[in-house]
């Protein structure tokens, strides 16, 4: 049960995240490269469809993330919208009229599109609610690894020398440790929770971003506009923020979209291993984990696994397809 202060903090965090994403898009839209990429993206049917699917997931996750006060403390907006769906006492098959029982099947309060879980909760609603965990993990982790990866990558590519050697040594050391072992180790120290998972994934996820930005920065510093800026006496900080950063932001956006799908999968895997989302948190990983015993029972309960796996598959597929479309839009030669 959340207090009023916790509700405001959660809603404010959500608003901050969307504001930062909107700021990134509007800031980049001032560039002619971004505008030409948008014109190409508008002609990409697959990219637009995948983007529409992503927006649907964002809407569902936002409804579950917005907390509103209620008589029991607080409920998400999605819970408020689905409060008319009754909770049963046990399993129920999709669209069945009686509970799943070999001995004494009891009538249900209502039919459920995707059935119910062991606690009698509607599987469709639980699948929708689990979208929040995936989006929060992706968003919070991105706020950690993107600034860290961009900063270190640009410093290594711009200053070169010992700075480059130091950054390469650090990310080579981090990359040498198996990622899953490092994630589990960090989570064992920090404990379960969406915030702990975000920190763990952020610590291990900045390496790929740093490598990508370092390579692009090394290419950009050889361009004439950097030499002209240095000849005009501009400071290193001004060159990095006003000239280099805008020319690598398209890579940051593409990496963010493609990396988001990996973070969603990582959340599901960690929750499946039992070190991810805490008990009581709706998550596709925990739903898949609970399905291990459901597949061995009689009668067979298959709908919880199917619902969670399908939702996870569609989201990851849409993110990957949209990321590929962004890559083709910003660099048609590379995407061909």
Q: Please state the domain extents for the chain.
A: 138-254
CA distances, 113 to each of 18, 25, 127, 311, 313 (Å): 32, 38, 12, 15, 19
Question: ∠ CA(271), CA(276), CA(280), 5° rounding?
Answer: 80
Q: Which pLDDT score, from 0 to 100, does residue 103 have?
A: 66
Alpha-carbon torsion, ordered 46, 49, 52, 54, to 10 deg: -50
Q: Which pLDDT score, from 0 to 100, does residue 336 have?
A: 44
Q: Which pLDDT score, from 0 to 100, does residue 242 have?
A: 79
Residue 221 DSSP label: T
Q: At what angle do helices 303-330 and 45-65 cross, to 10 degrees?
A: 130
Nearest residue to 129 (alpha-carbon basis) of 62, 187, 189, 201: 62
Q: Which two tokens stand for residue 104?
A: 């004494």
Q: Which pLDDT score, from 0 to 100, does residue 89 have?
A: 81
Q: Which two tokens stand for residue 43?
A: 């002609």
Q: Which pLDDT score, from 0 to 100, does residue 53 have?
A: 92
Going by their DSSP bridges, the two strands 73-76 and 67-70 should be labelled as antiparallel
Beta strands in 249-294 (DSSP E): none
Judge contact between 282 and 304, C-beta under 8 A: no
Query: Residue 257 and residue 279: Cα distance in Å, rounded?
Result: 28
Q: Which pLDDT score, from 0 to 100, does residue 25 have?
A: 67
pLDDT string in tens for the chain (336-residue length)? 444 445 555 566 667 766 776 776 666 666 677 777 778 888 888 889 998 999 899 888 888 877 776 666 667 788 788 888 888 788 888 888 887 775 667 788 888 888 888 888 888 988 998 888 888 888 788 888 888 888 888 888 888 888 888 988 888 888 888 877 888 888 888 777 777 788 888 888 888 888 888 888 888 888 888 888 888 877 888 888 777 887 787 788 788 888 888 888 887 777 777 776 776 677 888 888 878 777 777 778 888 888 988 998 998 899 889 888 888 887 755 544
Q: How many helices (H) and strands (E) does the chain have?
A: 15, 2
Query: Residue 150 and residue 52: Cα distance in Å, rounded?
Result: 28
Query: Residue 162 and residue 58: Cα distance in Å, rounded?
Result: 43
Residue 98 DSSP label: B
- Cβ partners under 8 Å of residue 256, min gap 6: 142, 146
Query: Residue 180 and residue 313: Cα distance in Å, rounded?
Result: 21
- Cβ partners under 8 Å of residue 300, min gap 6: 294
The alpha carbon of residue 20 and the mean position of all alpha carbons in its chain are separated, in whole angstroms, by 15
Q: Which pLDDT score, from 0 to 100, does residue 47 have?
A: 86
Q: Which pLDDT score, from 0 to 100, does residue 95 have?
A: 82
**HSE (CB half, 13 Å, CA atoms) of 322?**
23
User: Which bin fits 180, alpha (ψ -120 to 50), beta or left (φ > 0)?
Assistant: alpha
Query: Residue 108 and residue 100: Cα distance in Å, rounded?
Result: 10
């Amino acid at each position: 049960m959340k207090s009023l202060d916790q509700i405001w903090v959660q809603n404010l965090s959500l608003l901050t995240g969307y504001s930062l994403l909107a700021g990134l898009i509007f800031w980049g839209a001032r560039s002619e490269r971004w505008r030409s990429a948008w014109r190409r993206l508008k002609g990409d049917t697959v990219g637009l469809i995948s983007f529409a699917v992503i927006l649907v997931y964002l809407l569902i996750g936002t409804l579950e993330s917005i907390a509103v006060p209620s008589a029991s403390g607080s409920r998400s907006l999605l819970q408020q919208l689905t409060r008319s769906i009754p909770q049963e006492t046990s399993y129920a098959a999709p669209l069945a009229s009686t509970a799943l029982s070999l001995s004494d099947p009891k009538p249900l309060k209502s039919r459920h599109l995707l059935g119910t879980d062991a606690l009698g909760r509607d599987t469709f609603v639980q699948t929708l609610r689990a979208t929040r965990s995936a989006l929060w993990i992706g968003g919070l982790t991105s706020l950690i690894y993107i600034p860290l990866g961009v900063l270190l990558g640009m410093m290594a590519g711009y200053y070169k020398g010992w700075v480059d050697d130091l950054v390469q040594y650090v990310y080579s050391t981090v990359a040498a440790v198996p990622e899953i072992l490092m994630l589990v180790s960090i989570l064992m120290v920090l404990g379960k929770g969406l915030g702990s998972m975000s920190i763990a994934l952020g610590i291990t996820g900045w390496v790929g971003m740093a490598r990508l930005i370092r390579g692009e920065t090394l290419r950009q510093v050889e361009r004439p506009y950097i030499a002209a800026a240095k000849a005009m006496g501009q400071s290193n900080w001004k060159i990095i923020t006003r000239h280099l950063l805008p020319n690598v932001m398209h890579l940051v956006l593409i990496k963010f979209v493609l990396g988001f799908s990996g973070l969603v999968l990582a959340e599901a895997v960690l929750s499946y291993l039992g070190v991810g989302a805490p008990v009581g948190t709706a998550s596709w990983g925990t739903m898949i984990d609970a399905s291990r015993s459901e597949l061995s029972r009689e009668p067979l309960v298959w709908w919880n696994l199917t619902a969670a796996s399908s939702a996870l598959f569609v989201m990851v597929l849409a993110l990957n397809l949209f990321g590929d479309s962004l890559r083709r839009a910003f660099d048609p030669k590379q995407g061909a």
